[in-house]
A and B are shown apart, each in its own frame.
Chain A
Protein backbone atom coordinates (compact mmCIF):
# COMPACT_ATOMS: atom_id res chain seq x y z
CA UNK A 1 0.00 0.00 0.00
CA UNK A 2 2.99 2.28 -0.12
CA UNK A 3 2.48 3.71 -3.62
CA UNK A 4 -0.91 5.36 -2.95
CA UNK A 5 0.28 6.76 0.35
CA UNK A 6 3.33 8.18 -1.35
CA UNK A 7 1.02 9.70 -3.92
CA UNK A 8 -1.11 11.36 -1.30
CA UNK A 9 2.02 12.56 0.41
CA UNK A 10 3.19 14.05 -2.85
CA UNK A 11 -0.17 15.71 -3.40
CA UNK A 12 -0.17 17.30 -0.01
CA UNK A 13 3.42 18.47 -0.41
CA UNK A 14 2.53 20.05 -3.72
CA UNK A 15 -0.44 21.70 -2.10
CA UNK A 16 1.87 23.11 0.52
CA UNK A 17 4.34 24.43 -1.93
CA UNK A 18 1.61 26.20 -3.82
CA UNK A 19 1.00 28.44 -0.84
CA UNK A 20 -2.50 27.17 -0.51
CA UNK A 21 -2.14 26.26 3.12
CA UNK A 22 -5.36 27.51 4.51
CA UNK A 23 -7.59 26.70 1.59
CA UNK A 24 -6.21 23.78 -0.39
CA UNK A 25 -6.36 20.74 1.72
CA UNK A 26 -6.74 17.07 1.17
CA UNK A 27 -10.51 16.48 0.83
CA UNK A 28 -10.38 14.10 3.74
CA UNK A 29 -8.89 16.79 5.87
CA UNK A 30 -11.69 19.31 5.73
CA UNK A 31 -13.22 20.30 9.03
CA UNK A 32 -15.38 22.85 10.73
CA UNK A 33 -14.04 24.86 13.55
CA UNK A 34 -13.35 22.58 16.45
CA UNK A 35 -14.31 19.33 14.75
CA UNK A 36 -11.86 16.49 14.71
CA UNK A 37 -11.52 13.80 12.16
CA UNK A 38 -9.18 11.07 11.16
CA UNK A 39 -6.47 11.21 8.62
CA UNK A 40 -3.45 9.12 7.92
CA UNK A 41 0.01 9.67 9.20
CA UNK A 42 1.54 11.18 6.12
CA UNK A 43 -1.00 13.96 6.35
CA UNK A 44 -0.03 14.33 9.96
CA UNK A 45 3.58 14.59 8.90
CA UNK A 46 2.87 17.25 6.33
CA UNK A 47 0.43 19.12 8.52
CA UNK A 48 2.99 19.10 11.26
CA UNK A 49 5.11 21.22 8.99
CA UNK A 50 2.38 23.81 8.89
CA UNK A 51 2.41 24.17 12.64
CA UNK A 52 5.79 25.76 12.34
CA UNK A 53 5.33 29.48 12.94
CA UNK A 54 7.56 30.54 10.16
CA UNK A 55 5.91 29.04 7.18
CA UNK A 56 7.82 31.10 4.69
CA UNK A 57 11.11 29.56 5.71
CA UNK A 58 9.63 26.11 5.54
CA UNK A 59 8.43 26.94 2.07
CA UNK A 60 11.87 27.99 1.07
CA UNK A 61 13.28 24.79 2.47
CA UNK A 62 10.72 22.73 0.64
CA UNK A 63 11.28 24.56 -2.58
CA UNK A 64 14.99 24.15 -2.36
CA UNK A 65 15.04 20.60 -1.21
CA UNK A 66 12.07 19.30 -3.04
CA UNK A 67 13.58 15.90 -3.49
CA UNK A 68 14.60 15.69 0.12
CA UNK A 69 11.16 16.39 1.52
CA UNK A 70 9.59 13.70 -0.61
CA UNK A 71 12.06 11.05 0.42
CA UNK A 72 11.70 12.14 4.02
CA UNK A 73 7.95 11.73 3.90
CA UNK A 74 7.86 8.48 2.04
CA UNK A 75 10.37 6.93 4.38
CA UNK A 76 8.39 8.01 7.43
CA UNK A 77 5.02 6.73 6.25
CA UNK A 78 3.48 4.19 8.56
CA UNK A 79 0.06 2.78 8.05
CA UNK A 80 -1.74 3.96 11.18
CA UNK A 81 -4.71 6.19 11.79
CA UNK A 82 -4.39 9.30 13.93
CA UNK A 83 -7.02 11.85 14.72
CA UNK A 84 -6.04 15.48 14.62
CA UNK A 85 -7.71 18.77 13.99
CA UNK A 86 -6.95 20.88 10.97
CA UNK A 87 -3.90 23.04 11.31
CA UNK A 88 -5.17 26.55 11.68
CA UNK A 89 -2.85 29.46 11.70
CA UNK A 90 -3.09 33.02 12.96
CA UNK A 91 -5.42 33.47 15.91
CA UNK A 92 -7.96 30.91 16.95
CA UNK A 93 -9.49 29.58 20.16
CA UNK A 94 -7.06 29.24 23.03
CA UNK A 95 -4.28 31.27 21.45
CA UNK A 96 -2.51 33.52 23.89
CA UNK A 97 -2.51 37.08 22.66
CA UNK A 98 -0.81 40.26 23.60
CA UNK A 99 -2.92 43.28 24.38
CA UNK A 100 -1.34 46.27 22.78
CA UNK A 101 -3.22 49.31 23.97
CA UNK A 102 -2.82 51.13 27.26
CA UNK A 103 -6.04 50.04 28.91
CA UNK A 104 -5.89 49.01 32.56
CA UNK A 105 -7.52 45.68 31.82
CA UNK A 106 -4.87 44.83 29.30
CA UNK A 107 -1.85 45.97 31.22
CA UNK A 108 -2.42 44.86 34.79
CA UNK A 109 -0.54 41.65 35.46
CA UNK A 110 -2.48 38.48 36.03
CA UNK A 111 -1.32 34.95 36.57
CA UNK A 112 -2.85 33.84 33.26
CA UNK A 113 -2.23 35.46 29.91
CA UNK A 114 -5.20 36.73 27.90
CA UNK A 115 -6.55 33.95 25.71
CA UNK A 116 -8.90 33.92 22.79
CA UNK A 117 -12.09 31.97 23.41
CA UNK A 118 -14.06 32.71 20.28
CA UNK A 119 -13.45 34.13 16.85
CA UNK A 120 -16.29 36.03 15.16
CA UNK A 121 -15.70 34.55 11.79
CA UNK A 122 -17.11 31.83 9.59
CA UNK A 123 -13.90 29.88 9.95
CA UNK A 124 -12.49 29.75 13.41
CA UNK A 125 -9.31 31.48 12.29
CA UNK A 126 -8.80 35.14 12.96
CA UNK A 127 -6.66 37.35 10.79
CA UNK A 128 -5.96 41.07 10.95
CA UNK A 129 -9.19 42.97 11.30
CA UNK A 130 -11.25 40.19 12.83
CA UNK A 131 -13.08 40.50 16.13
CA UNK A 132 -12.47 37.92 18.80
CA UNK A 133 -13.57 37.26 22.36
CA UNK A 134 -10.84 37.30 24.94
CA UNK A 135 -10.75 35.95 28.44
CA UNK A 136 -8.78 38.47 30.50
CA UNK A 137 -8.55 38.49 34.26
CA UNK A 138 -11.59 36.30 34.55
CA UNK A 139 -13.70 38.56 32.32
CA UNK A 140 -14.82 38.27 28.75
CA UNK A 141 -13.93 41.13 26.48
CA UNK A 142 -14.13 41.65 22.77
CA UNK A 143 -10.99 42.57 20.92
CA UNK A 144 -9.72 43.39 17.48
CA UNK A 145 -6.77 41.60 15.94
CA UNK A 146 -4.15 44.00 14.70
CA UNK A 147 -1.31 41.68 13.90
CA UNK A 148 -0.42 38.04 14.00
CA UNK A 149 2.64 35.86 13.74
CA UNK A 150 1.47 34.08 10.64
CA UNK A 151 2.80 35.50 7.38
CA UNK A 152 -0.03 36.99 5.37
CA UNK A 153 -0.16 38.27 1.80
CA UNK A 154 3.03 39.85 0.50
CA UNK A 155 3.46 43.53 1.31
CA UNK A 156 1.62 43.10 4.59
CA UNK A 157 3.62 43.16 7.81
CA UNK A 158 4.08 40.08 9.93
CA UNK A 159 4.55 40.73 13.59
CA UNK A 160 6.53 38.76 16.09
CA UNK A 161 3.61 38.52 18.46
CA UNK A 162 -0.16 38.22 18.15
CA UNK A 163 -1.38 41.73 18.84
CA UNK A 164 -4.85 42.63 19.89
CA UNK A 165 -6.70 45.81 20.87
CA UNK A 166 -9.48 45.67 23.46
CA UNK A 167 -12.82 46.87 22.20
CA UNK A 168 -16.36 47.36 23.46
CA UNK A 169 -19.35 45.73 21.82
CA UNK A 170 -20.09 48.82 19.77
CA UNK A 171 -16.55 49.05 18.50
CA UNK A 172 -15.13 51.71 20.79
CA UNK A 173 -11.62 50.98 21.95
CA UNK A 174 -11.15 50.80 25.67
CA UNK A 175 -7.62 52.15 25.76
CA UNK A 176 -6.53 55.56 24.65
CA UNK A 177 -3.26 54.86 22.94
CA UNK A 178 -1.65 52.20 20.85
CA UNK A 179 2.08 52.34 20.67
CA UNK A 180 2.90 49.34 18.52
CA UNK A 181 2.72 49.63 14.75
CA UNK A 182 -0.51 48.68 13.03
CA UNK A 183 -0.91 47.50 9.46
CA UNK A 184 -2.35 49.91 6.98
CA UNK A 185 -4.78 47.34 5.63
CA UNK A 186 -7.10 48.20 8.49
CA UNK A 187 -7.71 51.54 6.84
CA UNK A 188 -9.82 49.88 4.23
CA UNK A 189 -12.51 49.23 6.80
CA UNK A 190 -12.52 52.70 8.15
CA UNK A 191 -16.19 52.74 9.03
CA UNK A 192 -15.77 50.05 11.62
CA UNK A 193 -12.34 50.84 12.84
CA UNK A 194 -12.20 54.59 12.64
CA UNK A 195 -11.96 54.98 16.36
CA UNK A 196 -9.32 52.34 16.74
CA UNK A 197 -7.28 53.84 13.96
CA UNK A 198 -7.53 57.20 15.58
CA UNK A 199 -5.75 56.06 18.68
CA UNK A 200 -3.05 54.23 16.86
CA UNK A 201 0.14 56.18 16.99
CA UNK A 202 2.28 54.30 14.56
CA UNK A 203 0.89 53.13 11.33
CA UNK A 204 2.95 50.69 9.46
CA UNK A 205 5.58 52.60 7.56
CA UNK A 206 4.27 55.96 8.60
CA UNK A 207 5.78 56.71 11.96
CA UNK A 208 4.75 59.96 13.46
CA UNK A 209 7.41 61.61 15.49
CA UNK A 210 4.95 63.06 17.96
CA UNK A 211 2.53 61.56 20.39
CA UNK A 212 -1.22 61.74 20.08
CA UNK A 213 -3.82 61.56 22.72
CA UNK A 214 -7.56 61.46 22.40
CA UNK A 215 -10.20 63.02 24.52
CA UNK A 216 -13.04 60.77 23.59
CA UNK A 217 -15.71 61.55 26.10
CA UNK A 218 -15.05 65.12 27.02
CA UNK A 219 -15.36 66.53 23.55
CA UNK A 220 -13.26 69.55 24.35
CA UNK A 221 -12.83 71.92 21.53
CA UNK A 222 -9.12 72.34 21.47
CA UNK A 223 -7.38 73.42 18.34
CA UNK A 224 -6.16 70.28 16.70
CA UNK A 225 -3.25 69.94 14.41
CA UNK A 226 -4.34 67.72 11.57
CA UNK A 227 -2.54 64.43 11.33
CA UNK A 228 -2.01 63.06 7.88
CA UNK A 229 -4.42 60.26 8.65
CA UNK A 230 -7.51 62.26 9.40
CA UNK A 231 -10.38 62.21 6.96
CA UNK A 232 -13.60 64.23 7.28
CA UNK A 233 -15.72 61.09 7.75
CA UNK A 234 -14.05 60.41 11.05
CA UNK A 235 -14.69 63.61 12.74
CA UNK A 236 -18.35 63.25 11.96
CA UNK A 237 -18.35 59.71 13.23
CA UNK A 238 -16.98 60.28 16.68
CA UNK A 239 -16.57 63.95 17.08
CA UNK A 240 -13.11 63.16 18.33
CA UNK A 241 -10.51 65.74 18.82
CA UNK A 242 -6.89 65.00 18.55
CA UNK A 243 -4.18 67.07 20.00
CA UNK A 244 -0.53 66.54 19.44
CA UNK A 245 1.75 66.94 22.35
Chain B
Protein backbone atom coordinates (compact mmCIF):
# COMPACT_ATOMS: atom_id res chain seq x y z
CA UNK B 1 0.00 0.00 0.00
CA UNK B 2 1.60 3.21 -0.98
CA UNK B 3 1.42 5.96 1.53
CA UNK B 4 0.19 8.43 -0.97
CA UNK B 5 -3.30 7.16 -0.76
CA UNK B 6 -3.40 7.73 3.00
CA UNK B 7 -2.18 11.24 3.16
CA UNK B 8 -3.37 12.97 0.05
CA UNK B 9 -6.89 13.51 -1.07
CA UNK B 10 -7.71 11.77 -4.25
CA UNK B 11 -8.88 14.98 -5.74
CA UNK B 12 -5.46 16.54 -5.59
CA UNK B 13 -3.65 13.89 -7.44
CA UNK B 14 -2.78 14.81 -10.91
CA UNK B 15 -3.31 11.91 -13.20
CA UNK B 16 -2.18 11.69 -16.71
CA UNK B 17 -5.73 11.40 -18.02
CA UNK B 18 -7.00 14.52 -16.37
CA UNK B 19 -9.97 12.51 -15.02
CA UNK B 20 -10.48 12.13 -11.26
CA UNK B 21 -8.60 8.99 -10.11
CA UNK B 22 -10.39 5.90 -8.99
CA UNK B 23 -11.62 5.98 -5.42
CA UNK B 24 -9.42 3.87 -3.30
CA UNK B 25 -10.99 2.90 -0.02
CA UNK B 26 -8.73 3.50 2.97
CA UNK B 27 -6.98 0.40 4.24
CA UNK B 28 -8.84 -1.50 6.89
CA UNK B 29 -7.34 -1.09 10.36
CA UNK B 30 -5.90 -4.29 11.72
CA UNK B 31 -7.32 -4.91 15.17
CA UNK B 32 -4.77 -6.56 17.41
CA UNK B 33 -6.65 -7.80 20.41
CA UNK B 34 -4.02 -7.29 23.10
CA UNK B 35 -6.34 -8.06 25.95
CA UNK B 36 -6.89 -11.69 25.10
CA UNK B 37 -3.21 -12.11 24.39
CA UNK B 38 -2.37 -10.69 27.77
CA UNK B 39 -4.75 -12.96 29.58
CA UNK B 40 -3.22 -16.03 28.05
CA UNK B 41 0.20 -14.96 29.22
CA UNK B 42 -0.83 -13.79 32.64
CA UNK B 43 1.91 -14.33 35.13
CA UNK B 44 1.34 -16.87 37.85
CA UNK B 45 3.76 -16.51 40.71
CA UNK B 46 5.67 -19.74 41.23
CA UNK B 47 4.79 -20.02 44.91
CA UNK B 48 1.16 -20.70 44.05
CA UNK B 49 2.02 -24.00 42.45
CA UNK B 50 1.93 -26.64 45.18
CA UNK B 51 5.00 -28.84 45.47
CA UNK B 52 4.90 -32.46 44.56
CA UNK B 53 3.99 -34.55 47.55
CA UNK B 54 1.34 -36.33 49.45
CA UNK B 55 -0.05 -33.51 51.56
CA UNK B 56 -3.71 -32.76 51.42
CA UNK B 57 -4.46 -30.19 48.72
CA UNK B 58 -6.76 -28.51 51.20
CA UNK B 59 -3.75 -27.13 52.98
CA UNK B 60 -2.53 -25.47 49.79
CA UNK B 61 -6.00 -24.23 49.01
CA UNK B 62 -6.22 -22.47 52.36
CA UNK B 63 -2.74 -21.06 51.92
CA UNK B 64 -3.65 -19.72 48.53
CA UNK B 65 -6.67 -18.00 49.94
CA UNK B 66 -4.48 -16.32 52.54
CA UNK B 67 -2.01 -15.34 49.87
CA UNK B 68 -4.74 -13.75 47.81
CA UNK B 69 -5.96 -11.89 50.88
CA UNK B 70 -2.51 -10.51 51.45
CA UNK B 71 -2.11 -9.55 47.83
CA UNK B 72 -5.30 -7.55 47.96
CA UNK B 73 -3.84 -5.42 50.68
CA UNK B 74 -0.28 -5.29 49.43
CA UNK B 75 0.63 -5.51 45.78
CA UNK B 76 3.37 -7.97 44.93
CA UNK B 77 4.57 -7.18 41.44
CA UNK B 78 5.53 -9.69 38.85
CA UNK B 79 9.24 -10.39 38.81
CA UNK B 80 11.58 -13.14 37.79
CA UNK B 81 14.91 -14.40 38.94
CA UNK B 82 17.36 -11.87 37.56
CA UNK B 83 15.26 -8.76 37.93
CA UNK B 84 16.38 -5.89 40.10
CA UNK B 85 14.08 -5.10 43.01
CA UNK B 86 13.94 -2.52 45.76
CA UNK B 87 12.34 -3.67 48.99
CA UNK B 88 11.36 -1.42 51.89
CA UNK B 89 10.89 -3.23 55.19
CA UNK B 90 9.83 -2.07 58.60
CA UNK B 91 12.53 -2.18 61.20
CA UNK B 92 12.33 -1.02 64.80
CA UNK B 93 15.99 -0.09 64.95
CA UNK B 94 16.08 2.11 61.92
CA UNK B 95 15.67 5.83 62.27
CA UNK B 96 12.66 6.15 60.00
CA UNK B 97 11.43 2.76 61.13
CA UNK B 98 11.93 1.48 57.60
CA UNK B 99 14.83 0.54 55.41
CA UNK B 100 15.29 0.00 51.72
CA UNK B 101 17.45 -2.56 49.97
CA UNK B 102 18.12 -2.81 46.26
CA UNK B 103 19.38 -5.99 44.69
CA UNK B 104 19.09 -8.57 41.98
CA UNK B 105 16.88 -11.53 42.71
CA UNK B 106 19.02 -14.64 42.60
CA UNK B 107 16.59 -17.20 43.86
CA UNK B 108 12.91 -17.66 44.52
CA UNK B 109 12.25 -20.44 46.94
CA UNK B 110 9.53 -21.80 49.11
CA UNK B 111 5.90 -22.40 48.31
CA UNK B 112 2.76 -20.97 49.76
CA UNK B 113 3.00 -18.31 52.43
CA UNK B 114 6.62 -19.07 53.15
CA UNK B 115 7.73 -18.04 49.71
CA UNK B 116 11.06 -16.24 49.80
CA UNK B 117 13.33 -14.49 47.42
CA UNK B 118 16.97 -13.62 47.85
CA UNK B 119 18.30 -10.26 46.73
CA UNK B 120 21.98 -9.72 46.15
CA UNK B 121 23.95 -6.53 45.85
CA UNK B 122 27.53 -5.48 46.28
CA UNK B 123 27.90 -2.50 48.60
CA UNK B 124 31.32 -1.02 49.26
CA UNK B 125 33.02 -4.09 47.79
CA UNK B 126 31.13 -6.31 50.16
CA UNK B 127 28.61 -8.72 48.69
CA UNK B 128 25.39 -8.76 50.68
CA UNK B 129 22.44 -11.08 50.23
CA UNK B 130 19.16 -10.83 52.03
CA UNK B 131 16.41 -13.40 51.99
CA UNK B 132 12.96 -11.83 52.17
CA UNK B 133 9.65 -13.50 52.69
CA UNK B 134 7.13 -12.35 50.12
CA UNK B 135 4.17 -12.47 52.45
CA UNK B 136 5.80 -11.12 55.53
CA UNK B 137 3.93 -8.22 57.13
CA UNK B 138 7.24 -6.48 57.74
CA UNK B 139 7.62 -5.72 54.08
CA UNK B 140 6.18 -2.34 53.23
CA UNK B 141 6.86 -2.06 49.53
CA UNK B 142 8.37 -4.00 46.67
CA UNK B 143 9.31 -2.12 43.53
CA UNK B 144 10.64 -3.64 40.41
CA UNK B 145 13.40 -1.43 39.12
CA UNK B 146 14.32 -3.57 36.17
CA UNK B 147 12.26 -6.52 35.05
CA UNK B 148 14.47 -9.11 33.50
CA UNK B 149 14.61 -12.82 33.03
CA UNK B 150 17.69 -14.96 32.93
CA UNK B 151 18.48 -18.26 31.36
CA UNK B 152 18.68 -20.04 34.71
CA UNK B 153 16.32 -20.31 37.63
CA UNK B 154 19.03 -19.87 40.19
CA UNK B 155 21.73 -17.26 39.96
CA UNK B 156 23.84 -18.47 42.87
CA UNK B 157 26.84 -18.41 40.56
CA UNK B 158 26.84 -14.64 40.83
CA UNK B 159 28.77 -15.12 44.04
CA UNK B 160 31.67 -16.45 42.02
CA UNK B 161 31.20 -14.04 39.18
CA UNK B 162 32.99 -10.75 38.87
CA UNK B 163 31.45 -8.25 41.26
CA UNK B 164 30.36 -5.93 38.47
CA UNK B 165 27.52 -8.32 37.66
CA UNK B 166 26.06 -7.99 41.11
CA UNK B 167 26.49 -4.29 41.75
CA UNK B 168 23.42 -2.17 41.41
CA UNK B 169 23.12 1.43 42.32
CA UNK B 170 20.97 1.98 45.36
CA UNK B 171 19.35 5.04 43.88
CA UNK B 172 18.65 3.43 40.58
CA UNK B 173 15.64 4.68 38.71
CA UNK B 174 13.08 2.16 37.54
CA UNK B 175 13.67 1.17 33.94
CA UNK B 176 10.47 1.09 31.92
CA UNK B 177 9.90 -2.00 29.90
CA UNK B 178 7.48 -2.92 27.14
CA UNK B 179 7.96 -6.61 26.42
CA UNK B 180 9.19 -8.17 29.55
CA UNK B 181 10.52 -11.44 28.31
CA UNK B 182 13.77 -10.32 26.87
CA UNK B 183 16.57 -12.54 27.90
CA UNK B 184 19.96 -10.84 27.95
CA UNK B 185 22.42 -12.19 25.51
CA UNK B 186 25.49 -11.28 27.52
CA UNK B 187 26.73 -14.08 29.62
CA UNK B 188 28.30 -13.63 32.99
CA UNK B 189 32.04 -13.82 33.35
CA UNK B 190 33.47 -15.52 36.37
CA UNK B 191 36.32 -14.99 38.74
CA UNK B 192 39.27 -17.38 38.55
CA UNK B 193 38.61 -20.93 39.40
CA UNK B 194 38.20 -21.86 43.00
CA UNK B 195 34.43 -21.42 43.05
CA UNK B 196 32.02 -22.30 45.82
CA UNK B 197 30.43 -24.87 43.55
CA UNK B 198 31.64 -26.46 40.37
CA UNK B 199 29.29 -24.60 38.14
CA UNK B 200 30.61 -26.15 34.99
CA UNK B 201 29.16 -29.50 35.90
CA UNK B 202 25.96 -30.51 34.13
CA UNK B 203 24.23 -31.09 37.46
CA UNK B 204 23.66 -27.37 37.77
CA UNK B 205 22.73 -26.98 34.15
CA UNK B 206 23.79 -23.37 33.96
CA UNK B 207 23.42 -21.59 30.68
CA UNK B 208 24.20 -18.09 31.75
CA UNK B 209 27.95 -18.30 32.29
CA UNK B 210 30.60 -17.68 29.71
CA UNK B 211 33.01 -20.39 30.69
CA UNK B 212 36.55 -19.48 29.88
CA UNK B 213 37.88 -22.84 30.93
CA UNK B 214 39.98 -24.93 28.56
CA UNK B 215 38.19 -27.49 26.44
CA UNK B 216 39.49 -30.55 28.23
CA UNK B 217 38.13 -29.27 31.53
CA UNK B 218 34.69 -28.75 30.07
CA UNK B 219 34.79 -32.26 28.67
CA UNK B 220 35.96 -33.66 32.00
CA UNK B 221 33.04 -31.96 33.68
CA UNK B 222 30.65 -33.78 31.36
CA UNK B 223 31.74 -36.99 33.05
CA UNK B 224 29.28 -36.18 35.81
CA UNK B 225 26.38 -35.75 33.49
CA UNK B 226 23.35 -37.91 34.07
CA UNK B 227 21.59 -37.85 30.72
CA UNK B 228 19.00 -40.36 31.87
CA UNK B 229 17.58 -37.89 34.37
CA UNK B 230 15.58 -35.96 31.83
CA UNK B 231 13.82 -39.11 30.71
CA UNK B 232 13.06 -40.31 34.22
CA UNK B 233 9.32 -40.54 34.38
CA UNK B 234 9.06 -40.66 38.14
CA UNK B 235 10.66 -37.24 38.36
CA UNK B 236 8.17 -35.61 36.08
CA UNK B 237 6.01 -32.95 37.58
CA UNK B 238 3.65 -31.56 35.04
CA UNK B 239 2.27 -28.33 36.38
CA UNK B 240 0.17 -27.21 33.44
CA UNK B 241 -3.11 -28.64 34.71
CA UNK B 242 -2.44 -27.46 38.23
CA UNK B 243 -1.65 -24.03 36.89
CA UNK B 244 -4.85 -23.95 34.88
CA UNK B 245 -6.85 -24.84 37.97
CA UNK B 246 -5.18 -22.17 40.03
CA UNK B 247 -5.72 -19.57 37.36
CA UNK B 248 -9.39 -20.33 37.42
CA UNK B 249 -9.42 -19.85 41.16
CA UNK B 250 -7.69 -16.54 40.84
A137 within 8 A of B: no
Residues of A within 8 A of B130 (CB): 155-158
Of the four ranges (under 10, 10 to 19, 20 to 34, 35 or more), the interface on chain B belongs to 35 or more
On whether the beta carbons of A206 and B89 are closer than 8 Å, the reply is no
Inter-chain contact A155/B89, CB cutoff 8 Å: yes
Q: How far is the CA of A67 from the CA of B237 in the complex (A)?
A: 12
Contact between chains at A159 and B128 (CB < 8 Å): yes
Size category of the binding interface on chain A: 35 or more
Q: Across the two chains, which residue of chain A brings its CB closest to B119? A: A157
Does A180 contact B99, Cβ atoms closer than 8 Å?
Answer: no
Known contacts A180-B124, A205-B99, A207-B170, A154 near B131 by CB under 8 Å = yes
Interface digits, B104-141 against A, CB 8 Å rule (1 contact, 0 not)?
Answer: 00010100000010100001111111111100101000
Residues of B within 8 A of A54 (CB): 156, 159, 196-197
For residue A80, CB closer than 8 A to chain B, the reply is no
The reply to whether the CB of B185 lies closer than 8 angstroms to some CB of chain A is no
The one of A63, A202, A205 in contact with B100, judged by C-beta atoms closer than 8 angstroms, is A205
Residues B128 and A181 in contact, CB atoms below 8 Å apart:
yes
Provide a sorted-by-A list of 29 A–B residue pairs whose CB atoms are within 8 angstroms: A52-B196, A52-B197, A57-B154, A57-B156, A60-B154, A66-B53, A147-B126, A151-B131, A154-B131, A154-B132, A155-B136, A156-B130, A157-B129, A158-B128, A158-B131, A159-B128, A160-B129, A160-B159, A161-B127, A179-B124, A181-B124, A181-B126, A184-B94, A188-B93, A202-B123, A204-B99, A205-B101, A206-B95, A229-B95
User: Which residues on A are within 8 Å of B, measured CB to CB?
Assistant: 52-54, 56-57, 59-60, 63, 65-68, 147, 151, 154-161, 163, 179-181, 184-185, 187-188, 202-207, 228-229
| A-B complex: 7 closest residue pairs judged by Cβ atoms | A205-B99, A160-B127, A228-B95, A187-B93, A180-B126, A158-B129, A60-B109
